[in-house]
Protein backbone atom coordinates (compact mmCIF):
# COMPACT_ATOMS: atom_id res chain seq x y z
CA UNK A 1 0.00 0.00 0.00
CA UNK A 2 1.35 3.43 -0.96
CA UNK A 3 1.07 6.30 1.46
CA UNK A 4 0.42 9.31 -0.79
CA UNK A 5 1.56 11.85 1.80
CA UNK A 6 5.17 10.77 1.21
CA UNK A 7 5.07 11.18 -2.57
CA UNK A 8 4.55 14.17 -4.84
CA UNK A 9 2.83 13.69 -8.19
CA UNK A 10 5.39 13.93 -11.00
CA UNK A 11 3.88 15.11 -14.25
CA UNK A 12 7.03 15.09 -16.39
CA UNK A 13 8.60 12.35 -18.47
CA UNK A 14 10.09 9.33 -16.72
CA UNK A 15 13.41 9.94 -18.51
CA UNK A 16 13.61 13.38 -16.87
CA UNK A 17 13.94 11.67 -13.48
CA UNK A 18 17.12 9.80 -14.39
CA UNK A 19 20.56 11.21 -15.08
CA UNK A 20 22.38 9.74 -18.07
CA UNK A 21 25.64 9.97 -16.09
CA UNK A 22 24.49 7.59 -13.35
CA UNK A 23 23.96 3.83 -13.10
CA UNK A 24 20.73 2.46 -11.65
CA UNK A 25 19.44 -0.83 -10.32
CA UNK A 26 15.73 -1.51 -10.23
CA UNK A 27 14.43 -3.91 -7.60
CA UNK A 28 11.11 -5.31 -8.79
CA UNK A 29 9.06 -8.31 -7.87
CA UNK A 30 5.99 -9.60 -6.15
CA UNK A 31 7.66 -10.52 -2.87
CA UNK A 32 7.01 -14.23 -3.36
CA UNK A 33 10.55 -15.13 -2.25
CA UNK A 34 10.16 -13.44 1.13
CA UNK A 35 8.57 -16.49 2.78
CA UNK A 36 10.37 -19.67 3.82
CA UNK A 37 12.41 -21.43 2.63
CA UNK A 38 14.23 -18.61 0.78
CA UNK A 39 13.44 -15.74 3.17
CA UNK A 40 14.96 -13.22 0.76
CA UNK A 41 14.48 -9.68 2.15
CA UNK A 42 12.10 -7.26 0.48
CA UNK A 43 13.42 -4.45 -1.69
CA UNK A 44 12.53 -2.02 1.11
CA UNK A 45 14.61 -4.03 3.60
CA UNK A 46 17.54 -4.21 1.15
CA UNK A 47 17.50 -0.44 0.59
CA UNK A 48 17.14 0.26 4.33
CA UNK A 49 20.13 -1.97 5.10
CA UNK A 50 22.21 -0.39 2.33
CA UNK A 51 21.45 3.08 3.68
CA UNK A 52 22.30 2.05 7.23
CA UNK A 53 25.63 0.62 6.08
CA UNK A 54 26.56 3.46 3.72
CA UNK A 55 25.16 6.46 5.56
CA UNK A 56 25.09 5.71 9.30
What integer pLDDT is reported at residue 5 of this predicted model? 65
The residue range of the domain holding 42 is 32-56
For residue 52, being part of any structural domain is answered with yes
What integer pLDDT is reported at residue 6 of this predicted model? 65
For residue 10, being part of any structural domain is answered with no
pLDDT, tens digit, for every residue of 1-51? 455 566 677 788 888 888 889 888 887 777 778 888 888 888 888 889 988
Non-local (6+) Cβ contacts of 46 within 8 A are: 27
User: With b meaning 16 or more CB within 10 Å and e meaning fewer, what string describes 1-26?
Assistant: eeeeeeeeeeeeeeeeeeeeeeeeee
What integer pLDDT is reported at residue 1 of this predicted model? 47
For residue 43, being part of any structural domain is answered with yes
For residue 3, being part of any structural domain is answered with no
Domain count, the chain: 1
Confidence grade of residue 56 (pLDDT, cut at 50, 70, 90): low
For residue 15, being part of any structural domain is answered with no
For residue 27, being part of any structural domain is answered with no
Taking CA atoms, 26 is separated from 13, 19, 43, in Å, by 18, 14, 9
Non-local (6+) Cβ contacts of 31 within 8 A are: 42
Amino acid sequence: MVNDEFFDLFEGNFTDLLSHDEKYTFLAGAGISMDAPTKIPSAREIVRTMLELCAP
